[in-house]
């Protein structure tokens, strides 16, 4: 028996011989020192013994609290530069011993191990190190080993051991100990659940970051077992309907943060949102608000020129690109001035006063932009219920940060995000009709193709250049069960303006009827993926109508 463990056994034997109650022991070892001194002081005042490691022990001693170093309990110094401190039977047996089992307790006494009744541990800041740019050995050293082992051991033995991983829980535990002399079983179980979630999240972040740094050999894109680190950003007002509770989570993959947006100086809450979003004005966001805002923000990223996308029920009702945000918004608004009422609008350029004046004229739920000028926010603040979001247009991270996650019925569907088409994507498009698009039609087709990608399938977009400059949608048919019905809807919204316009389809045409309807509406050029078994019939219908048709070879369904 080592000298340290021998002293432990002697102390316990003396307590047992005296017939007194065993002094309770707390193990405190935290990377985040928030609140730890207050917790330790509360425990000390209740007669608890404090055992600690490294920097935590120094912080407690500096506060005038008596502290027993872990090395004194184990009889071993910290090894391998601190990599091994608490990985020892004198610690883990003390945590894992079941107090109701006489054989467990006898084993502790035989080996001189003192029970541990509370474990307060939080972990090395791996995510913060990754976000700061650490790689290689520097990043590996931020992977905590002893901490998760302590947390999991304490959480496993939650009926007998209090486990704390969040400083926010310190006060209520200290209060329960002072008021009742202990922590109720239901609270212990709650803390254990939180602890297991904490270590699972920690490991999931590590796996995601390391996978992103160096993909696994063999090129297997989908691991057999996948843990996604989901971090709660907000509890929402309600879900899709008021009777449904909802919360917002994000994939918490560390990445270098973008520079902070400049202070606006205008009224607003600066309420934090998901990573990359800050709410500058308005009441809290609901579940549906976030669905629409994220759909609008994703859609507007597809355009290189200043663009505005108006969303209603997660699908665009108007899209415009022009020389300025205000001009782009005018085109998007005029595409469907009825449907935009109560909608969401996103911009891919900073929002200025000119655009804000136009936005303030109509009822909107949310406006999203990469930045909002102070004078623009002053204008938008006239609408007290309008939510104004600033969004980081930078990269969403690496690895799993490029994935889209949707859940339903206990299942999560995961896919790689449909990234924006690169600027030169249309170089791979293939004209398939006798008539070839004019240069002006090529540009309009490019716009329509990027616009249709944002719409719910089956999706059809009718679009055209504007005489004053820029491009806009004229009619959108989306979310239909029949592609020909989507064509009819888009043409009906476009009306006479469809003559000479272009049309984009997110999927191939299964029959010639859609092209025949487009021809009757005056469409001059069509872009679609191609790939139908009836492509020859579809092309023949376009040739018969004198319509130019281009195949992209790539589909853009959005369900």
Q: Which of 393, 413, 392 is nearest to 403 (CA)?
A: 413
CB-based contact 460:493 (threshold 8 Å): no
**CA–CA distances in Å: residue 258 to residues 133, 209, 275, 304, 398:** 13, 18, 10, 20, 14
CA–CA gap between residue 265 and residue 466 (Å, rounded): 36
Q: Select which of 33, 194, 283, 313 is catalytic.
A: 313
Residue 156 bears catalytic tag: yes
Q: DSSP labels for 510-543?
A: SSTHHHHHHHHTT--EEEE----TTHHHHHHHHH
Helix or strand (DSSP H, E) at 144: none
Q: Which of 165, 241, 230 is nearest to 198 (CA)?
A: 165
Q: Which pair of tokens denotes residue 15?
A: 């307590």
Phi, psi of 351 (to 5 degrees): -85, 125
CA–CA gap between residue 144 and residue 122 (Å, rounded): 9
Q: What is the dihedral of CA 28, 33, 38, 39, to 10 degrees?
A: -30
403-410 long-range contacts, Cβ below 8 Å, gap at least 24?
403/251, 405/228, 405/230, 405/251
CB-based contact 314:299 (threshold 8 Å): no
Q: Which of 496, 540, 538 is nearest to 520 (CA)?
A: 496
Phi, psi of 463 (to 5 degrees): -145, 165
CA–CA gap between residue 309 and residue 89 (Å, rounded): 61
Q: Between vectors from CA 357 to CA 312 and to CA 292, what angle results, nearest 5°?
A: 20
Q: Select which of 156, 283, 398, 466 is catalytic.
A: 156
CA–CA gap between residue 411 and residue 398 (Å, rounded): 24
Q: What is the dihedral of CA 137, 141, 142, 148, to 10 degrees?
A: 140
Residue 384 bears catalytic tag: no
Query: What is the separation of C-alpha 305 from the centre of its chain, rounded to a whole number of angstroms?
Result: 27
Residues with a known catalytic role: 156, 313
């Amino acid at each position: 028996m080592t000298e340290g463990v021998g002293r432990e056994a002697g102390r316990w034997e003396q307590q047992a011989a005296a017939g007194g109650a065993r002094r309770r022991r707390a193990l405190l070892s935290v990377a985040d020192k928030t609140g730890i001194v207050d917790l330790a002081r509360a425990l000390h005042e209740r007669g608890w013994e404090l055992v600690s490691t490294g920097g935590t022990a120094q912080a407690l001693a500096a506060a005038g609290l008596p502290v027993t170093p872990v090395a004194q309990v184990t009889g071993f110094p910290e090894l391998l530069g601190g990599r091994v401190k608490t990985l020892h039977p004198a610690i883990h047996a003390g945590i894992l011993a079941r107090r109701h089992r006489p054989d467990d307790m006898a084993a502790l006494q035989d080996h001189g191990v003192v029970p541990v009744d509370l474990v307060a541990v939080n972990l090395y800041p791996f995510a913060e190190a990754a976000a700061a740019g650490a790689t290689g050995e520097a990043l590996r050293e931020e992977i905590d080993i002893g901490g998760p082992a302590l947390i999991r051991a304490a959480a496993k033995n939650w009926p007998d051991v209090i486990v704390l991983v969040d400083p926010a829980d310190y006060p209520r535990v200290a209060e329960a100990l002072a008021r009742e002399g202990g922590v109720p079983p239901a609270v212990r179980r709650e803390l254990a659940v939180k602890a297991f979630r904490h270590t699972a999240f920690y490991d999931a972040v590590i796996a995601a970051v390391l996978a992103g740094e160096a993909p696994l050999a063999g090129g297997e894109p989908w691991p057999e077992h996948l843990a996604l680190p989901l971090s709660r950003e907000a509890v929402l007002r309600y879900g899709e309907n008021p009777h449904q509770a909802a919360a917002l989570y994000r994939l918490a993959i560390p990445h270098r943060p973008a520079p902070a947006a400049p202070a606006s100086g205008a009224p607003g809450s600066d309420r934090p949102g998901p990573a990359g979003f800050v709410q500058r004005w308005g009441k809290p966001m609901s579940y549906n608000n976030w669905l629409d805002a994220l759909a609008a923000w994703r859609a507007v990223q597809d355009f290189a020129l200043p663009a505005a996308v108006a969303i209603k029920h997660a699908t665009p009702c108007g899209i415009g690109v022009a020389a300025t945000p205000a001009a782009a918004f005018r085109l998007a608004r005029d595409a469907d001035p009825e449907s935009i009422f109560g909608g969401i609008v996103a911009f891919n350029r900073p929002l200025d006063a000119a655009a804000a004046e136009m936005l303030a004229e109509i009822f909107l739920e949310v406006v999203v932009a990469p930045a909002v000028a102070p004078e623009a926010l002053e204008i938008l603040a006239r609408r007290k219920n309008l939510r104004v979001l600033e969004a980081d247009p930078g990269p969403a991270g690496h690895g799993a940060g490029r994935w889209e996650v949707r859940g339903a019925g206990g299942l999560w569907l995961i896919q790689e995000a449909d990234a924006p088409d690169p600027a030169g994507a249309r170089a791979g498009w293939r004209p398939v009709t006798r008539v070839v698009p004019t240069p002006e039609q090529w540009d309009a087709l490019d716009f329509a193709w990027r616009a249709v990608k944002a719409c719910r399938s089956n999706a059809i977009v009718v679009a055209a250049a504007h005489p004053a400059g820029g491009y806009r949608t004229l009619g959108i048919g989306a979310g239909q069960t029949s592609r020909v019905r989507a064509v009819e809807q888009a043409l009906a919204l476009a009306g006479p303006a469809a003559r000479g316009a272009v049309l984009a389809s997110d999927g191939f045409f299964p029959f010639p009827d859609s092209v025949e309807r487009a021809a009757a509406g005056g469409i001059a050029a069509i872009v679609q993926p191609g790939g139908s078994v009836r492509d020859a019939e579809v092309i023949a219908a376009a040739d018969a109508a004198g319509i130019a048709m281009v195949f992209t070879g790539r589909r853009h369904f959005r369900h």
